[in-house]
Amino acid sequence: MTFNGVNVSCLRKKKGHTAQCICLVDHSGNRTMRPCLSNAVKVQAHELVREDFKGSKWLVLRYAILNLEVIQAAISLAKQEGLLVSLDLASFEMVRKFKAPLMKLLESGNIDLCFANEDEATELLRDEHNADPVAAVEFLAKYCKWAVVTLGHNGCIAKHGKQMVRVPAIGEAKAIDATGAGDLFASGFLYGMVKGLSLEECCKVGACSGGSVTRSLGGEVTLENRQWMYKQMQIRDLRMPDVLCK
């Protein structure tokens, strides 16, 4: 992470077990994950301090019931420092089993941006007559300033205020491995937000970054695929990372 320019000064180091996760990928590139977090060391809510958030613009979170106290503490401190908060719904199983606490988070008004994939969006509206992606974006937009539903090879739908955009996927028609695609999409979208890009441009950057990781096996973007991503951004006249412009 340091090699890639990530500031890890706030990283906590503890003795104990690291969480494990098995990623299963089928011949179509679809993936599922089976994590084991039971005995893993974790950051505790009382360990977070305001200094952890100073100078940042966004707090990026994934919904998980095991970390709910940490999530709530982090949001509270982040808001004290004026940060915007992004929440990824993490998995349709998490939404199905722990929908009530999730709705409390959304209803608090502290979630500025919410990401959901198509399965998570469908699960969120399971009891509704209309559970399509557009309805899910509309639903999330009632609680968040920005709402995004990713649709795999069909791209994404996003809404901010009265504006709604639909952007097609960028990349191979058939993914080799979708592991990491959601996280990479979110990172690209958030990059666009930090750089002040439009809603449509944020989606396009997300599509470029998300598409880059599906071109090979594993959740890490290879150098070749990183260059592919930059080329796709250039073709679409999207703002490139500053490090590439120097």
Mean pLDDT of the 97-114 span: 97
User: pLDDT value at position 174?
Assistant: 75
User: pLDDT value at position 243?
Assistant: 66
Chain-centroid distance of CA 241 in Å reads 19
> Residue 246: which pLDDT band, with cuts at 50, 70 and 90?
very low
Tell me 219's DSSP state: S
CB 158 within 8 A of CB 115: no
User: pLDDT value at position 66?
Assistant: 84
Cα separation, 47 vs 41, whole angstroms:
13
pLDDT digits (tens, 9 = 90+) for 192-225: 999 999 999 999 999 999 999 999 999 889 999 9
Please check the confidence at residue 162 and state whether its pLDDT lies above 50.
yes
User: Strand 113-117's sheet: what is its strand order?
Assistant: 58-62, 84-88, 113-117, 146-150, 156-160, 163-167
Higher-confidence position of 30 and 103: 103
Mean pLDDT of the 145-159 span: 96
Full-model pTM: 0.93
Kindly write down the DSSP assignment for every residue of 66-115, as one continuous string. GGHHHHHHHHHHHHHTT-EEEEE---HHHHHHTHHHHHHHHHTT---EEE
Mean pLDDT of the 130-143 span: 93
N-to-C CA span, the chain: 21
Looking at the annotation, which residues are catalytic? Answer: 183
* 57 three-class SS: coil
Mean pLDDT of the 175-201 span: 95
Tokens standing for 157?
């739908």
Closest CA to 51 of 14, 76, 70, 77: 77
* 149 three-class SS: strand
pLDDT digits (tens, 9 = 90+) for 3-17: 888 889 888 888 999
Mean pLDDT of the 7-36 span: 89
User: pLDDT value at position 80?
Assistant: 97
With a pLDDT cut of 70, the percent of the chain lying above it is 98
